[in-house]
Structure 1
Amino acid sequence: MDLRSTHFILTRFNVRGRYYRGDPGDEWLRRRLELFARYTLPSFRAQSVRDFRWLVLIDSESPHWFRAKLAELSLGSYEVVEVEGAFDALAAGRIVRERLATPFVLTTRVDNDDAVARDFVETIQRAAVSPEQRFINLVDGAQLGPKGVYQRPYTQNPFITLVEGARNQLPATVFVKRHFEASKYAPVLNLRSSHPMWLQVVHGGNVLTELVGLRMKARRLTPWFGCEIPCGDGPFEFALDFTLGAARIAGRLVGGPHRLVELGRALAARPAQRL
């Protein structure tokens, strides 16, 4: 049986869809490009393996200056793909299918303002040893907020991967379901790791992301990420923020039973290194 596969990283910019139906404007694009260049791009250039294809998806009506800047930043790291009209799973499937020459495919979603650990891709590929259709989710992550870094285990995070066969069909791709609904489509393999595998950058522009993790020392992250991470962890400020964060998390768990279920799933995840 031919088990060869191709791994695609899919990063959306200004494509139109559920949350972004029109032109976001030059100011939004410039801010996202800054975050992309600071966090996302260096983290993929630092990957421990290179056997993947990174597709950066943009709207076909994007301004010229934006296209030029993406081309300037690329240096061969990614392929810019223009999307006409609304972007959805069908559009993603067509884009992947046009570039696919193997019977199996992995698609991983990563946002344009986030970062991943140096061994993020390698860990996913090591886990994708079976052709069985399923999602792979690296549970352990972190968030970067204005004050510092916060530990964030999450079994429904937006860094999820779909493994599937695509010999005679259009790939469903990781966008077949929203990341928190993945289990409605296929089984989810949740994997723990000894360090955070992904970093969400929480800023004023990502209205769908809230800071919910527990404060951690930034120096625990820096060896694992190829991007620069601020390390200003004053002892008093850190202790206060840690205490407030613990109280906030306790309140969320008490007020939302579904969050206890999520915590249980995270704790029950299999260690990635034992695969």
Structure 2
Amino acid sequence: MKTFSHYIITRFNIKSQGWTKDKNGNTVNDLAWLKHRYNLFDMFCLPSMVSQSEKNYQWLVFFDKETPEEFRRKNEKISKQLKQFKPFYVDGFLDFENSLRAYITKDSKSDYVLTTRFDNDDCFHENALKVIQQSFSPKHNTVIELANGLTMQISSETKLAKRNNVFSGPFITLVEKTQDSIELQTVYDCEHTEWENRAEFTTIDNGYYWLQTIHDANITNRLYQDLTFNKKFLGGFHFNYKPKFKLSYIVFVIFKNLGVFKIKRRFSIN
């Protein structure tokens, strides 16, 4: 028996009564939204998974049962390109949770199960799954946290920011021991912010292993304040997008890092 089985879990377009508008008030899960999400998926999410150095995982991607046929055909094509990609079609969030648990319970023959959150418009570093698995410890109800990552704005103009010391963030992995008498929880048993009170944490803070894209159709994501234009932070991230920073943005970041704006504010107050 293998020590653990690792499942990456993505919710793509599952319908929810509490999730009907993006941050700009536009409708989500309609055809226009779905086409836009697939563009982001093809640009960031999919190439990052194809490029993973660790191949021992399954990627379970959940779609609404009414997903149009053209996208179902696309999913079948992806399945042939990436054998770890497994599409599921469900009727709402309850069906998602039940289907997820049922599949893993039947599929896994391991002592432990790892389930990792991953959104359809985000991106993993090529070694993200490798470092998660290297950090595995045979301890039930443990969360593995990739504490450092990046946020990249791709709408209007490109901006890049670092995020450090994230706790109970959106890229966590739950470790569970498989037990016949206890039903699996999976990492989606609650919101990611709630795990801080439900599990012990193992923190990985020696690199940047995830990237969130900031665009007009996000629900809540935003660019963070630790801005940079240094593309070295993007090394190891594989996506079909060429970030180009405007000169005005580069100058702004330089001045910000030099503390020019703080000095100016101090003089204006005095």
Q: Residue 208 of structure 1 is aligned with which of 209, 220, 228?
A: 220
The change in CA–CA distance for 1:63 and 1:218 in structure 2 (over 3 A counts) is farther
Task: After TM superposition, give the deviation of residue 65 of structure 1 in Å.
Answer: 1.4
Query: What SS is found at the alignment partner of 2:107?
Result: coil
Deviates more, 1:18-27 or 1:211-220: 18-27
Partner of 1:36: 41
Q: Does 1:185 align with 2:165?
A: no
Task: After TM superposition, give the deviation of residue 43 of structure 1 in Å.
Answer: 0.4
The change in CA–CA distance for 1:19 and 1:189 in structure 2 (over 3 A counts) is farther
Q: Distance in 1 between matches of 2:108 and 2:163?
A: 34
> What do residues 179-220 of structure 1 show as CA deviations (whole Å, max 9, x unaligned)?
1111122112222023x1000001111121111241123521
Q: TM-score, normalised by structure 1?
A: 0.81
Q: Distance in 1 between matches of 2:133 and 2:257?
A: 34
Amino acid corresponding to residue 37 of structure 2 in structure 1: R
Q: Identity of counterpart residues, as a percentage?
A: 25
Structure with larger RCO (C-alpha < 8 A, sep 6+): 2
Task: After TM superposition, give the deviation of residue 235 of structure 1 in Å.
Answer: 5.2
How many corresponding residue pairs?
Answer: 246
The change in CA–CA distance for 1:233 and 1:198 in structure 2 (over 3 A counts) is same
Task: After TM superposition, give the deviation of residue 48 of structure 1 in Å.
Answer: 0.9
Task: Return the index of the structure with the highest Cα Rg.
Answer: 2
Partner of 1:259: none
Gaps of 5+ in 2: 21-26, 263-270
> What do residues 111-144 of structure 1 show as CA deviations (whole Å, max 9, x unaligned)?
0000000100000000013233211111110001
Query: What SS is found at the alignment partner of 1:221?
Result: helix
Partner of 1:150: 161
Partner of 1:51: 56
Deviates more, 1:222-231 or 1:59-68: 222-231
Amino acid corresponding to residue 170 of structure 1 in structure 2: E
> What do residues 79-121 of structure 1 show as CA deviations (whole Å, max 9, x unaligned)?
1011233346444322322322212100001000000001000
Q: Residue 184 of structure 2 is aligned with which of 166, 171, 179?
A: 171
The change in CA–CA distance for 1:211 and 1:97 in structure 2 (over 3 A counts) is same
Q: Distance in 1 between matches of 2:244 and 2:253?
A: 13
Does the aligned pair in 1 maintain the 2:50–2:82 contact within 8 Å? no
Partner of 1:99: 107
Q: Distance in 2 between matches of 1:25 and 1:225?
A: 30
Q: Distance in 2 between matches of 1:95 and 1:34?
A: 28
Query: What SS is found at the alignment partner of 2:249?
Result: helix
Q: 4+ residue stretches of structure 1 with deviation over 6 A? A: none
Task: After TM superposition, give the deviation of residue 177 of structure 1 in Å.
Answer: 1.8
Query: What SS is found at the alignment partner of 1:130?
Result: coil
Cα RMSD of the aligned pairs, angstroms, is: 2.5
The change in CA–CA distance for 1:13 and 1:131 in structure 2 (over 3 A counts) is same
Q: TM-score, normalised by structure 2?
A: 0.82
The change in CA–CA distance for 1:180 and 1:221 in structure 2 (over 3 A counts) is same
Residues 124-273 of structure 1: pairs in structure 2 closer than 5 A? 124-145=132-153, 146-153=157-164, 154-168=166-180, 169-194=182-207, 196-234=208-246, 236-241=248-253
